[in-house]
A and B are shown apart, each in its own frame.
Chain A
Amino acid sequence: MTITETEPAADDAGTETPQGEFGDLASVVGSGDHVRIGRLFVGGSLIGLVASLVVGLLLDIERVTPAEVDVLDADVMVQLYSAHRLGLVLLFALPALIGLALVVVPLQVGASTVAFGRAANLAFWSWALGSALWIAGYLVGGGPGGSDLEGTDLWLLATIVVIASLCLATVCIVTTVLALRTTGMTLPRVPLFSFSMLVAGSIWLLTLPVAMGNLLIIYIDHRYDQALFGANEAILSQLAWLVGQPQIYVIAIPLLGIIGDVVPVFAGARQRMYAVSMGAIGVFGALSIGAWAQFGMPGLPIDESDVLGIADDPLFVAVGVLAVLPVLVVLGLGADTLRAGKVRLASPLIGALLTGLLLLIATVAGALYVIEPLELWGTTAFLGQFLLTVGAVIVGVVTGIWYWATKVIGRPLSEGIGRTLPLVLFVGALVSGAAYVAAGFIDEVDAPPGAIAVVPDGAEALNTVAAIGTGILLLGSFGIAVGLLGRREDDVPDDPWNGHTLEWATASPPVRGNFAEAPEVSDERPLFTDHAEEDASA
């Protein structure tokens, strides 16, 4: 046994860490309990979501009259431009999916805990500290484009800490899937959400450190001489690939897993062509590797024969167009599974279908963006496609929280709110994203408000629509908080949905050690097979 491993006793009920002389503080800060750490990540990411959406709404309100800055200073506006996009990825999407995975993945693969439980705990607290410093960097005017150069040093270091923490948590999840699967759980039998986290985590570990390496060089340059990247105006162009195609799809990979796990349960049928679904998730992951697709490098001379840079790169265009296909495959197989079974309409199914639809729209918008004759490069279509993808993640995370609520929260959540919320969030993301894509078609430039010289006719109306969409999204995100409120219940069902995978074979909330006895599986849907055998014998 290593010092980073937590091996809880299997017979203790509940997920609470025993209290020592330091009481509650030690049980939160020093916990190796994957459920507790996962909850912390999910809770923290929801705060990040609200903060990022507030920033987005401020930007959208300013963008109603794109040529002028009405409410805030131009200096602040430039910083909010990066805070909105990077915040939605680093402070919401990645930690939310990591949090969900920390709770669910060990249960799905039949592990007694997550690998390196205390490292996962360290990852959360360093992410929380890094995020606080990241926001502080903006508050003192140190974000990209800001005027406080010492604040920029803080911002750069905080960004490195945030990314490193997310990578550490990802290592814990990927190791759990690779090394802690229970007896009989071969890789082809891993539930789709866990498999999608394996794929997504691998891609995160391959791409996010590239940003970390770049940021380290930028930090040293910025700290001492500013010879390479200048004061701080060139920083965002070094990180733009993180929020653009194809890299932005890395946050959407686990959504395919959530859809793949939810749909068969509410169809009451086995997932059609399981291996093909896995293959589609793998292909989507491979297409989303985006560290190579950097938009430009400061300090280098501009090649006059290649002013578009990556935009007319054949591989970049091909990847952007092909990304639609794996999403279509997963959704098609989901539809076929629904057709083959008897559909039960419940909140997770509604959420999963809306997630899939929004992701499909996002990938189609992405395909349009890279088709050169449409001339969308550099327009707000970039922002629209980003918002559609992030919107799909928001709906997907809500779906996951409601589906696995008894494991994540420890009690079932309101079915009424669970059915309404995904719809509200879907409408908000669609209105906001589609309006910006449409504004891209009339050549509205994607730049901070106030920095746009020419405003095309109709852009102000579309920007107003987009602002309304962001407002709906923000309202929806407050709705998530309302939906999560509630009292602890004593009689929580272990399996409220008649689930198919191993997480439903243990208590809600999970017992310490997750399973009283290590489970054994013989196919990819062990509980579905058990139910079918019981029905047959009856």
Chain B
Amino acid sequence: MSAATPSVVVDLIPEDVPAHERERPRVLLYGTALVLVVIGMAFAGMFAVYFAQRAAFGEGWIPDGAGTIPLTPASVMLVTLAMSSITVQWVVWAISHDDRLNLYISSALTLVLSAAFLNQAVFLYDAMGWEVSGPDAIQAVLIYAITGSQIVMLIVAMCFLALMSFRALAGEYSARNHEGLTAAALFWHASVVAYFVIWAAIYNIK
């Protein structure tokens, strides 16, 4: 137990986990991993269409002028999410050491970083200025479908982490059993990886 953990929080931590709880299989972790397989394959299906269309289109896929993709905001978004990946791992480290104070700080920091990412995404979309109709409709449809799906995935990850953090606040998780927060962190890392692939394949390579 960390010395920094307030006594009011210590009272919430179970003294010992019952035997059947200790032996409980990591059902939520398995389920989360399988859901990530589903999401990963959905992205694979979308990227397959994207690359096929892009290869067939040839030169000038991303037109100059209003329809371009500015790389700087996209890269700042990548750095922001990379930082959130570190802070979410801090969440797991904190709960595995029964350090509630660090747990709450890191959870809050992770959620703030993800909110910043969403704000930056709005800015990027505004800067891109593409419409899903008109001469660049094909590119816009594909790019908005893929990047929008990643944003939805991140919002789900935020809800998942917030829910698990509230449960930790209620004394649900401890150093012996922190499966919920580990599963939320796994989902979070996956959403960061999804954005990295988008950054590399769509924003960077163009």
Chain A residues packing against B (C-beta within 8 Å): 1-2, 4-5, 115-116, 119, 167, 171-172, 174-175, 178-180, 205-214, 216-217, 220-221, 224-225, 227-228, 291, 297, 299-301
Contact = CB atoms under 8 A, between A and B. Distances in A.
A212 B45 contact: yes
Contacts of B45: 209-214, 291
A227 B141 contact: yes
A227 B137 contact: yes
Interface size grouping (class) on chain B: 35 or more
Interface stretch (B1-9, B31-39, B64-72, B76-84): B31-39
Contact of B27 (A115, A225, A299, A301): A115
B134 interface: yes
Given A2-B180, A224-B141, A297-B49, A167 B132 contact: no
Q: Which of B21, B137, B149 has the most CB of A within 10 A?
A: B137
B44 A299 contact: no
Contact of A175 (B30, B44, B179): B30
Interface in B26-62: 26-28, 30-31, 34-35, 37-46, 48-49, 52-53, 56
Contacts of B28: 2, 4
Nearest to A171: B34
Contacts of B39: 209
A207 B53 CA distance: 21
22 contacts: A4-B28, A4-B31, A171-B34, A171-B35, A172-B31, A174-B34, A175-B34, A208-B38, A211-B45, A213-B43, A214-B48, A216-B149, A217-B46, A217-B145, A221-B137, A225-B137, A225-B141, A227-B133, A228-B141, A228-B142, A297-B53, A300-B56
A225 B144 CA distance: 13
B52 to A, nearest CB: 5
Contact of A180 (B25, B41, B46, B49): B25
B56 A225 contact: no
Given A213-B45, A221-B141, A299-B56, A171 B132 contact: no
A116 B27 contact: yes
Nearest to B141: A221
- B contact face: mostly helix, strand, loop, or mixed: helix
Contacts of B137: 221, 224-225, 227-228
B31 A115 contact: yes
Q: Which of B44, B138, B141, B145 has the most CB of A within 10 A?
A: B141
A1 to B, nearest CB: 8
A315 to B, nearest CB: 16
Contact of A225 (B41, B44, B132): B132
The 4 closest A-B pairs by CB, nearest first: A213-B45, A210-B45, A227-B137, A209-B41
Given A171-B38, A179-B27, 9 more contacts: A175-B34, A180-B25, A180-B27, A209-B42, A213-B46, A227-B141, A228-B137, A299-B53, A299-B56
Given A179-B27, A205-B41, A297-B52, A216 B46 contact: yes
Nearest to B134: A225
B38 A167 contact: yes
Interface of B: 21, 25-28, 30-31, 34-35, 37-46, 48-49, 52-53, 56, 132-134, 137-138, 141-142, 144-145, 149, 179-180
B180 A300 contact: no
B81 to A, nearest CB: 21
Given A167-B38, A212-B42, A214-B49, A115 B30 contact: yes
Contact of B56 (A180, A221, A301): A301
A291 B47 CA distance: 13
A208 B30 CA distance: 19
A88 B169 CA distance: 47
Q: Which of A205, A225, A297 has the most CB of B within 10 A?
A: A225
Nearest to A238: B49
A299 B138 contact: yes
Contacts of B30: 115, 175, 178-179
B132 A220 contact: yes
B73 to A, nearest CB: 22
A178 B29 CA distance: 11
Given A228-B53, A228-B138, A220 B145 contact: yes
A179 B44 contact: no
Nearest to B41: A209
A207 B41 contact: yes
A5 B56 CA distance: 48
A191 B156 CA distance: 36
Given A116-B31, A217-B49, A300-B56, A224 B43 contact: no
Contact of B41 (A213, A216, A217, A220): A213
A220 B46 contact: no
A164 B66 CA distance: 36
A224 B132 contact: yes
Nearest to B180: A2
Contacts of B49: 213-214, 217, 297
A205 B37 CA distance: 7
B27 A209 contact: no
A165 B109 CA distance: 33
Contacts of A291: 41, 45
